[in-house]
Amino acid sequence: MGIFENLTTGGLKETVDSLGGSFDPKPSAAYDAVITMAYAGKSSRSNAQSITVHATIDGAEFKETIWVTNTKGENFYLSKDGKKTKNPLPGFTTVEDLCLLTTGSPLAEQPTEEKAVKIFDYDTRKEIPKQVQVLVDLLGKEVKLGVLREIVDKTQLADSGQYLPTGETRTQNVINKVFHGETGRTVNEYRHEIAEPDFLTAWKLRNEGKDRNRAKGVAANSAGMSGTGRPTGAVPAKKLFG
């Protein structure tokens, strides 16, 4: 079993399809991609865990670090409707879908191997080899990524210890939705035996060529957490293509 075997899918609400990097940000679109690297990380200040994904898109390298757990190490949050329903974190949903659509198995069952990967080091201000746990079964897999180009605030560290907006903005790419590399279907469409990639068509209609503006300006006092997937029944434990 892998290092994420403690993560739960039991009792989580099933996600539904909802319309809701290191290279020059590309326009929002669904891109064919090949995963070249995927490794686990952990916050130095909490139990939050992440997966950093590298992929090749149109010959360029795309990178994104996706947080799959909160500061307590949980991959869910409780609804505020009094029912205490466990909703999967958006980042967890993204990586879970990526694992299922490329390997047929969830994140909790992904085997890992320790390997040296060049990672940016903030002390030396350059990439240096570091030993990390690599999700080896994802490497080389083809997938289709619904990527958004979004406008966000540039921030700087304030005396309060918070990173606050400077008034300037930058653009970045984030994975908003994951689709099967050949069929274009989503995890939800496979679960409910929907034969056609209807959601891919809807996603393109809503997002293709459009920027998402998440900049709040200098009046903002904190940056929110971004992610994908919207939480509705229990997630099946069986392999998706089993």
List, as one string, the DSSP characters of 75-127: SEEE-SSSS--EEEPHHHHHHHHHHHHHHSS-GGG--EEEEEEEEEETTTTEE
Domain contains 224:
no
pLDDT in tens for each of the 242 residues of the chain?
Answer: 566 776 766 666 666 565 543 458 999 999 999 999 999 999 988 999 999 999 999 999 999 999 999 999 999 999 988 778 999 999 999 999 999 999 999 999 999 999 999 998 888 889 999 999 999 999 999 999 999 999 999 999 888 888 899 999 999 999 999 999 999 999 999 999 999 999 999 999 999 999 999 999 876 444 333 333 333 343 444 455 54
Cβ contact 152:173 at 8 Å: no
Cβ contact 4:107 at 8 Å: yes
- Expressed as residue numbers, the domain containing 80 is 29-213
Domain contains 189:
yes
The H or E element that residue 199 is part of is helix 198-207
Domain contains 161:
yes
Domain count, the chain: 1
Domain contains 107:
yes
Domain contains 232:
no
Domain contains 234:
no
Domain contains 222:
no
Domain contains 166:
yes
pTM (two decimals): 0.79
How many other CB atoms sit within 10 Å of the CB of residue 118?
Answer: 11
